[in-house]
């Protein structure tokens, strides 16, 4: 057994690694090491979850966004996007379609769209919860005030997804304009947790400027935050963003990180994301085999999907 395999065992036994150890594992990834990790994660996942895969219905209800993240296709400077918003009835009809298919969690995801004030969001969440009382509502609508998060929680929202994107302030500022900061992002996550939401954090794999050390910091942050869900997927360059010419994250590194996260947080909900399915035709299946246990099929109306292109 080599040093890196021993580190993997240490991770499984103690659910902790030092920053340098994380970076060494990530730097030293080989197919053999990855297979070793996956042989452990499949057992871990099975121990807590059997063969269950959890299904969450994704409803992309607005692609308006006030932010200008350098990686994202729906950034406000991208004038080539046809902007749309779904109204309450359209959102409810996505939920109905999902409900009939057996979905019991709806994830409302959108850009940071000022049209969806607290009042409007509270109405929508309330309407979903009263029409589908046995369903969970997850929100993924970016950074808002504590009062706003509180109001949405009171309206019935159960969970909130907000990727931290990257823990490092220096790396964060390479991916975002200066109006957005790592500190404010992380503060939102702690606030959401405080309020009582089940929270999801996460990051892109292979984002421009990412290093094994930055990823190590992301994993240390996850250890501290202990989120219920961790969403990770490969960075995919979008043609109409400043990162158009950057290379994409790889399937192999994403799968390896899914495996490491399963070992760090054995009970975490770990989606095999759409981005993973985009870089490889069997990406999501491989994600499940690497340790993921959630799939988030798209419930958005077919005619708006082409406009919700993050990558």
Q: Which residues bind ligand 5AD (CB under 6 A)?
A: 71-72, 163, 165, 204, 233, 235-236, 238, 275, 310-311
| Closest CB 1 distance from ligand 5AD, rounded Å | 35
Structure tokens at 5: 């395999």
Residue the block writes with tokens 């590194």: 253
Work out the number of other CB atoms within 10 angstroms of the CB of residue 159: 21
| Closest CB 14 distance from ligand 5AD, rounded Å | 29
Task: Please say which residue, 107 or 260, places its beta carbon nearer to ligand 5AD.
Answer: 107
C-beta separation of 177 from 157 below 8 A: no
Task: Please say which residue, 233 or 271, places its beta carbon nearer to ligand 5AD.
Answer: 233
- What pairs with residue 15 in β-bridges? none
- What pairs with residue 138 in β-bridges? 107, 159
Task: Please say which residue, 233 or 283, places its beta carbon nearer to ligand 5AD.
Answer: 233
| Closest CB 259 distance from ligand 5AD, rounded Å | 19
Task: Please say which residue, 37 or 60, places its beta carbon nearer to ligand 5AD.
Answer: 60
Calpha distance 276→232 (Å, rounded): 9
| Closest CB 235 distance from ligand 5AD, rounded Å | 5
Measured CA distances, 13 to 8, 49, 247 (Å): 9, 19, 35
| Closest CB 111 distance from ligand 5AD, rounded Å | 9
Measured CA distances, 260 to 16, 88, 146, 173 (Å): 11, 39, 32, 26
| Closest CB 134 distance from ligand 5AD, rounded Å | 27
C-beta separation of 284 from 251 below 8 A: no
Nearest-CB residue to ligand 5AD?
311
| Closest CB 309 distance from ligand 5AD, rounded Å | 9
Closest by CA position to 143, among listed 115, 181, 198 = 181
- The C-alpha angle 88, 94, 95, rounded to 5 degrees, equals 90
Task: Please say which residue, 12 or 307, places its beta carbon nearer to ligand 5AD.
Answer: 307
Structure tokens at 284: 């999501």
Q: Is 291 left (phi over 0), alpha (psi -120 to 50) or beta?
A: left
Q: Which residues contact 283 (CB under 8 A, 6 or more apart)?
A: 251, 254, 272, 276, 277
- The C-alpha angle 226, 228, 233, rounded to 5 degrees, equals 95
Task: Please say which residue, 242 or 301, places its beta carbon nearer to ligand 5AD.
Answer: 242
Task: Please say which residue, 26 or 74, places its beta carbon nearer to ligand 5AD.
Answer: 74
Task: Please say which residue, 206 or 259, places its beta carbon nearer to ligand 5AD.
Answer: 206
Calpha distance 13→66 (Å, rounded): 44
| Closest CB 95 distance from ligand 5AD, rounded Å | 20
Task: Please say which residue, 135 or 279, places its beta carbon nearer to ligand 5AD.
Answer: 279
Helix (H), strand (E) at residue 61: strand 57-62
| Closest CB 177 distance from ligand 5AD, rounded Å | 14
């Amino acid at each position: 057994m080599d040093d890196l395999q021993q580190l993997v065992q240490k991770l499984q036994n103690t659910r902790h690694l030092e920053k340098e150890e994380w970076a060494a594992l990530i730097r030293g990834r080989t197919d053999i090491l990855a297979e070793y990790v996956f042989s452990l994660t499949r057992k871990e996942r099975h121990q807590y979850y059997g063969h269950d895969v959890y299904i969450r219905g994704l409803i992309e209800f607005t692609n308006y966004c006030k932010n200008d993240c350098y990686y994202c296709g729906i950034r406000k400077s991208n004038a080539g996007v046809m902007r749309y918003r779904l109204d309450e009835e359209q959102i409810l009809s996505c939920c109905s379609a999902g409900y009939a298919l057996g979905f019991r969690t709806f994830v409302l995801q959108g850009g940071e769209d000022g049209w969806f004030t607290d009042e409007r969001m509270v109405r929508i969440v309330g309407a979903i919860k009263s029409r589908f009382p046995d369903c969970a509502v997850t929100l993924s609508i970016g950074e808002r005030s504590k009062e706003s998060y509180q109001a949405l929680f009171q309206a019935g929202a159960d969970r909130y997804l907000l990727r931290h994107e990257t823990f490092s302030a220096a790396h964060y500022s390479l991916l975002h304009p200066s109006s957005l900061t790592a500190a404010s992002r992380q503060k939102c996550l702690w606030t959401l947790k405080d309020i009582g939401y089940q929270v999801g954090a996460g990051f892109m794999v292979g984002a421009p400027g990412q290093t094994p050390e930055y990823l190590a910091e992301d994993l240390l942050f996850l250890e501290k935050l202990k989120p219920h869900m961790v969403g990770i997927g490969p960075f995919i360059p979008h043609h109409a963003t400043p990162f158009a010419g950057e290379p994409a994250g790889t399937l192999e590194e994403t799968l390896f990180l899914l495996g490491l996260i399963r070992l760090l947080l054995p009970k975490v909900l770990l989606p095999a994301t759409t981005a993973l399915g985009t870089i490889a035709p069997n990406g999501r299946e491989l994600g499940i085999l690497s340790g993921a246990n959630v799939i988030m099929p798209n419930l958005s109306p077919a005619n708006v999907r082409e406009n919700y292109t993050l990558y």
